[in-house]
Homo-oligomer: A and B are copies of this chain.
């Protein structure tokens, strides 16, 4: 007992500790996730596509979230997106280098296109999310992790304003609805959607700013808060059968 306690204090073998990110954005038509190609000269899953992430650096990272923000900055240059922890995955087999645990964060970006490459040498690319997967095999257990992150996002879209964090600075209500529809994978009814959004204080008009297009110009809105989502009392039930 005392021996095992002494052993557990500091000499216990320590798992590898990493942080991984599921970074999402939308384009006109679909949900996308940012992946990086792993280096050619690594001992684990060389050349495979993976969620961006890596080891916690105990010298650099004050805490797990700071570590996630650092990795996000390195990959995208973005400073303060919506960031939420999804959970952690740890076992003895997910990494060939040893027992490892990863802390997974979900990030939502407002503009996919502008952010891309950054000076970082690693190959980085947006992949379309189909169902809960991408078209390439992923390193480690990242396919499972991506599936969980997409599920979390889809589940919360039903009763929160998460898709609002996928919008650029100014947007119309129709554009916001379209983003909801892309993430949910089904259509929503216009009037119900607008009533619901306007019943919260999620967005505010940008006075005088309109989006011109083929028809009547549309009022532009902006988010009141870039950090906290709004929760609805009901889910979107969707069109009736």
Residues of A in contact with B (beta carbons under 8 Å apart): 1-2, 5, 8-10, 12-17, 39, 41-43, 54-59, 61-64, 85, 87-92, 97-99, 101, 103, 121, 159, 233-235, 237
When all copies of this chain in the complex are counted, the total is 2
Complex CA–CA separation, A56 to B64 (angstroms): 18
Which listed residue, B17, B39, B59, B233, touches A101 by the CB 8 Å rule? B17
8 tightest Cβ-Cβ pairs between the two chains A and B: A63-B91, A14-B14, A58-B99, A64-B90, A88-B88, A15-B17, A234-B234, A88-B103
A56 and B8 form a contact (CB under 8 A): no
A89 and B64 form a contact (CB under 8 A): yes
Which listed residue, B14, B54, B55, B97, touches A17 by the CB 8 Å rule? B14
Q: Residue on B with the closest CB to A104? A: B88
* 16 residue pairs bridging A and B, Cβ less than 8 Å apart: A1-B121, A8-B54, A8-B55, A9-B42, A9-B43, A12-B57, A14-B14, A14-B15, A15-B17, A17-B17, A61-B92, A63-B91, A64-B88, A64-B90, A101-B103, A233-B234
A98 to chain B: which residues have CB within 8 Å? 10, 58
B89 and A88 form a contact (CB under 8 A): no
**Given A9-B42, A87-B87, A101 and B234 contact (CB-CB distance below 8 Å):** no
Q: Which one of A1, A17, A64, A159 has the highest number of Cβ atoms from chain B below 10 Å of its Cβ?
A: A17
A99 to chain B: which residues have CB within 8 Å? 56, 58
Complex CA–CA separation, A231 to B54 (angstroms): 35
Complex CA–CA separation, A61 to B61 (angstroms): 27
A57 to chain B: which residues have CB within 8 Å? 8, 12
Complex CA–CA separation, A233 to B158 (angstroms): 9
